[in-house]
Amino acid sequence: MPRHWVNQAIAKIDADFQRSADTHLLQVPTPQFPTISLYFKDESTHPTGSLKHRLARSLFLYGLCNGWIKEHTTIIEASSGSTAVSEAYFARLLGLPFIAVMPRSTSVEKLIKLNFMAANAI
């Protein structure tokens, strides 16, 4: 039975990956330098809007595959914001409790985003 939950969790994360696998590249015109092509990666297309989204996905997959994350595992992240927001997203996706430990100086904007991402944030 525990392996069944892990397999379902990996499938949910894979579905998220399939939905947001490509990070859009935006070309920036550089008329002063016609031989240079400049591109920005648009990380805002991830559900968390964070460049830490792929890192969080990898951390969750690593934890699942190594038996460290199981059904009902509480996920705890010490972060200044972006990683916690992304991990809260994946914890919610898998129905896991999530605790973020953040400095008092964390911006209100990040705290709002964290609470939005974590359905069961403590």
Q: Please give the domain boundaries of the chain with CATH numbers for all domains.
A: 2-117 (3.40.50.1100)
pTM above 0.75, yes or no: yes
| Strand 75-78 to 98-101 pairing | parallel
Tokens for 47?
A: 């559900």
Instruction: Name the β-bridge partners of 38.
Output: 28
Residue type present at position 34? P
**Per-position pLDDT tens, the chain of length 122:** 568 999 999 999 988 777 765 667 888 999 999 899 998 877 776 777 677 888 899 999 999 999 999 999 999 999 877 888 889 999 999 999 999 898 888 888 888 777 777 754 44
